[in-house]
């Protein structure tokens, strides 16, 4: 392994290039097939976990209630969590922005003269682009989740929040390992590839001064951080190095320990179709005197980064119910066509479209809000019943309305177009008035031979739309 893990700085791409990135994937049959196959696999695994629709529905309702109950008490619970973690010996830090979070984490690393930070899977650390900040500070940040390790080796970003390397075939990974991991010959045997990763990373777990992780649930009443994983790298990162730093969004909090089992069950069953993950790791403090392993210091970084903006609006607050299972991606016909990278945001897919505007502002994400047919598959499978289509419509309104004072969101009006708004006003002018509508639709039907044969984007893959020569109302009237 070279010390310089990624060759170049990678930043999340602005949403502007979305359409061309989406087109690039859509036009590649191999990629389309492989995303389709992967999503079919995940959808069937989830379905097998929920054979009883009544149980699923009641569990989703319970999950929604738990999340809403805890969000309603968020500021109190954050204080309770902080008090109990502090009592347990965990140091709690607060960050409003990605820069603040990076400064906190790198500050801790510097206190420990850390050269190497091993990372368990954490989407929040992707959100703050910690790896680049660490590199700039001379600290290697090494991903240890197999999927994350693969995308980091490739100089890429995760394309799925649960399956980071879902866009890669085993042959691509085999070539990547042979090229980037010293002393490794080409093999596309999956077990052999995993053993290569295991060997490399076990060495790094021993060397690292700092282990970083995300948090799936933070329990306020006990001061406990819960982590869900299958591989064991999360446990390595939180147990072997002398320092463990956990980072989480401020929303991932529950008041009571008994709120955890329903959410945990919904999470693993919805995400990968497992009845449970291999490990559920509950961390309530650093190594105590007399204990022989575990970190000497445990830190928690609580990150806002736009979440408080979503929180301030009753409807948008539902965005924060998310437990990051990724089921909305797996069931999304758009994600299935274009994969995760096309979105250009840390969180892709339906959840990405509703959460990213709060993190990046609508200026950078307005275009993404249109990348949905509002088919509702995401909302249907969401384990905590986030009404994703409804939130997308709200975000469209925020994005495309004329800028106004006191907006609910940063970047409100970023997608405003006087022409488009005028067209909709004109549309409303016609359709709100029966007389106008009759006149206009009469003209388009009588002069339907004037209908253009090229109708912009519609006719790129479809025959032109042509109004009928006689409207239904004409035929009804003629019939008497």
Give whole-number Cα distances, 41 to 166, 331, 459, 480, in Å.
12, 11, 33, 55
Give whole-number Cα distances, 452 to 46, 290, 437, 441, 444, in Å.
46, 82, 21, 16, 11
144 near other proteins, judged by CB under 8 A: yes
Interatomic CA distance for residues 211 and 294, integer angstroms:
11
Interatomic CA distance for residues 88 and 294, integer angstroms:
14
112 near other proteins, judged by CB under 8 A: no
393 near other proteins, judged by CB under 8 A: yes
| Interface segment toward other proteins; rule CB under 8 A; list 69-77, 107-115, 128-136, 357-365 | 69-77
Question: For 472, phi and psi rounded to 5 degrees?
Answer: -60, -40
Q: Which of 337, 410, 413, 446 binds other proteins (CB under 8 A)?
A: 337
Interatomic CA distance for residues 100 and 97, integer angstroms:
5
Q: How far is the CB of 170 from other proteins (least distance, A)?
A: 5
Give the CA angle between residues 158, 160, 161 to the nearest 5°.
90
**DSSP 8-state symbol, 462:** S
Q: How far is CA 205 from the centre of its chain?
A: 27
Give whole-number Cα distances, 65 to 78, 217, 356, 383, in Å.
18, 15, 24, 11
List the interface residues with other proteins, window 45-64 (CB under 8 A): 55, 58-59, 62
Select 111 or 433, whichever has its Cβ closest to other proteins: 433
Select 135 or 466, whichever has its Cβ closest to other proteins: 466
| Interface segment toward other proteins; rule CB under 8 A; list 4-12, 273-281, 347-355, 356-364 | 273-281
Q: How far is the CB of 111 from other proteins (least distance, A)?
A: 18
Per-residue mark of binding to other proteins, 206-225 (x: CB under 8 A):
x--------------xx-x-
Per-residue mark of binding to other proteins, 348-367 (x: CB under 8 A):
--------------------
457 near other proteins, judged by CB under 8 A: yes
| Interface segment toward other proteins; rule CB under 8 A; list 321-329, 348-356, 406-414, 429-437 | 429-437
253 near other proteins, judged by CB under 8 A: no
| Interface segment toward other proteins; rule CB under 8 A; list 108-116, 178-186, 348-356, 391-399 | 391-399
Cβ atoms within 10 A of the Cβ of 282, count? 13
SS3 232: coil
Select 351 or 387, whichever has its Cβ closest to other proteins: 387
């Amino acid at each position: 392994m070279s010390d310089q893990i990624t060759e170049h700085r990678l930043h999340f791409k602005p949403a502007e290039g979305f359409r061309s990135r989406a087109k690039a994937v859509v036009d590649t049959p191999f990629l389309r097939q492989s995303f389709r196959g992967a999503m079919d696999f995940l959808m069937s695994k989830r379905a097998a976990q929920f054979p009883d629709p009544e149980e699923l529905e009641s569990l989703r309702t319970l999950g929604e209630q738990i999340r809403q109950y805890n969000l309603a008490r968020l500021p109190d619970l954050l204080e309770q969590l902080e008090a109990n973690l502090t009592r347990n010996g965990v140091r709690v830090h607060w960050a409003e922005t990605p820069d603040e979070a990076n400064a906190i984490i790198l500050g801790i690393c510097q206190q420990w003269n850390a050269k190497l930070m091993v990372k368990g899977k954490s989407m929040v650390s992707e959100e703050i682009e910690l790896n680049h900040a660490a590199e700039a500070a001379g600290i290697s940040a090494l991903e240890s989740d197999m999927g994350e390790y693969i995308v980091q080796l490739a100089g890429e970003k995760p394309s799925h929040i649960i399956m980071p390397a879902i866009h890669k075939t085993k042959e691509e990974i085999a070539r990547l390992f042979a090229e980037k991991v010293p002393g490794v010959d080409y093999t596309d045997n999956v077990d052999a590839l995993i053993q290569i990763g295991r060997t490399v990373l076990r060495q790094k777990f021993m060397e690292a001064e700092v282990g970083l992780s995300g948090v799936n649930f933070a329990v306020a009443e006990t001061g406990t951080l819960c982590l869900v994983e299958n591989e064991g790298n999360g446990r390595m990162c939180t147990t072997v190095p002398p320092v463990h730093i956990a980072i989480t969004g401020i929303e991932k909090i529950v008041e009571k320990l008994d709120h955890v089992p329903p959410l945990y069950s919904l999470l693993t069953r919805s995400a990968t179709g497992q009845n449970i993950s291999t490990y559920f790791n509950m961390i309530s403090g650093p190594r105590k005197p007399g204990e022989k392993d575990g970190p000497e210091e445990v830190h928690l970084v609580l990150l806002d980064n736009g979440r408080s903006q979503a929180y301030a609006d009753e409807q948008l607050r539902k965005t924060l119910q998310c437990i990051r299972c990724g089921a909305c991606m797996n069931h999304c016909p758009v994600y299935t066509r274009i994969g995760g990278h096309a979105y250009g945001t840390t969180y892709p897919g339906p959840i990405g479209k509703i959460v990213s505007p709060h993190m990046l502002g609508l200026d950078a994400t307005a275009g993404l809000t249109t990348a949905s047919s509002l088919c509702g598959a995401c909302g249907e499978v969401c384990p905590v019943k986030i009404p994703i289509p409804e939130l997308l419509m709200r975000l469209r309104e925020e994005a495309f309305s004329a800028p106004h004072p006191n907006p609910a969101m940063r970047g409100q009006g970023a997608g405003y177009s006087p022409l488009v708004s005028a067209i909709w006003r004109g549309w409303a002018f016609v359709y709100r008035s029966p007389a106008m509508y009759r006149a206009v639709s009469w003209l388009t039907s009588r002069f339907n031979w004037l209908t253009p044969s090229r109708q912009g984007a519609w006719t790129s893959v479809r025959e032109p739309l042509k109004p009928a020569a006689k409207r239904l109302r004409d035929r009804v009237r003629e019939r008497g």
